[in-house]
Amino acid sequence: MQIDHIAIWTNDLERLRDFYSKYFDCRVSDRYDNKKKQFSSYFLSFQYGAKIEIMKRFNITDSHYKERIGLAHFAIGVGTIEKVDKMTKILEKAGVTIDTFPRTTGDGCFESIILDPDNNKIELTALVDYKISKASQDDLERILYLQKCCYLSEAEIYNDYSISPLTQTLESIKNDFCNQTIFKLDYKGEIIGSVRAFVQNDTCYIGRLIVDKYFQNMGFGKQLLDAVEKKFNHITRFELFTGFKSEKNLYLYKKYGYKEFKEEKINGMIIKYLEKCVSR
């Protein structure tokens, strides 16, 4: 069993809808209206997990803030500790009330607490029990499976399911393992991300950066890039590439210091190459 959704009464559906869709990237359902009961609602869906139903009815108008018996708060996992810090600062700058600033709690959790426009308490929590390390041969089959799951969305963008990340074989990734450093991102015993890299002619080439769809937009792509840069900290130039329609990839790479320096057409697809130069 699992929690399907939680429900919140509000006097202003659109205000609450806009808050969650703007800051937590929720998908918003069509508005439901029951004129007989004077009831309206939206469902707000996260990338994974339970949904929030926000509801309005003519005869429910009271609001609350002080603690009381019943629902105390709900928590939204936003990713890394860095992500919790960053989101809290963004929300504070936007005028959102910060009830508790980012901290490590007594039970080892890292969180901040904010108030939504109706003063509902929301914990922004970090995933702290993840680990990035070098993959072993025993990990390759799971990494290859995750790779193919992740690249399905890329194939859909280009309407091309013959791209090499989808057609790579186990023997091929074993060959990569012999010639490259492959990193894995573990969370609770599951591999949820990976990246690989190798050095040639004073450049570190980075490829196959993947994060499980349920953990995307949480800062783990940056963590994997950081792992490569730390491993090859004697190198001053890093290079990677992606397709010209892969807007999320381009946004991520540019956000963390990678700049386009050339493009070329391969099998009908325009490939953009990006580099990052660092001083040592």
In 238-257, which positions are buried (b, 16+ CB within 10 angstroms) versus exposed (e)? bbbbbbeebeebbebbeeee
Instruction: Work out the pLDDT band at 65, boundaries 50, 70, 90.
Output: low
- pLDDT reading at 85 higher than 80: yes
Could you report the per-residue pLDDT of 255-266, keeping only the tens digit for each? 999 999 999 988
Alpha-carbon torsion 223, 228, 231, 232, what sign?
A: negative
Q: What fold characterizes domain 130-277? A: Aminopeptidase (3.40.630)
Q: Global pTM?
A: 0.79
Could you report the per-residue pLDDT of 28-38, keeping only the tens digit for each? 999 999 999 89
Q: Which amino acid is at 231?
A: K
- CATH number listed for the domain at residues 5-126: 3.10.180.10
Q: How many Cβ atoms are within 10 Å of 181's Cβ, its own excluded? A: 18
Give me the half-sphere count of Cα atoms (radius 13 Å) on the Cβ side of residue 90: 11
| Helix intervals (H) in 182-219 | none
- 259 and 220 Cβ atoms separated by less than 8 Å: no
Phi-psi region of 2 (alpha: psi -120 to 50; beta: other; left: phi over 0): beta
Could you report the per-residue pLDDT of 11-25, keeping only the tens digit for each? 999 999 999 999 998
Helices 170-179/140-158 angle, 10° precision: 110
Domain boundaries along the sequence of the chain: 5-126, 130-277
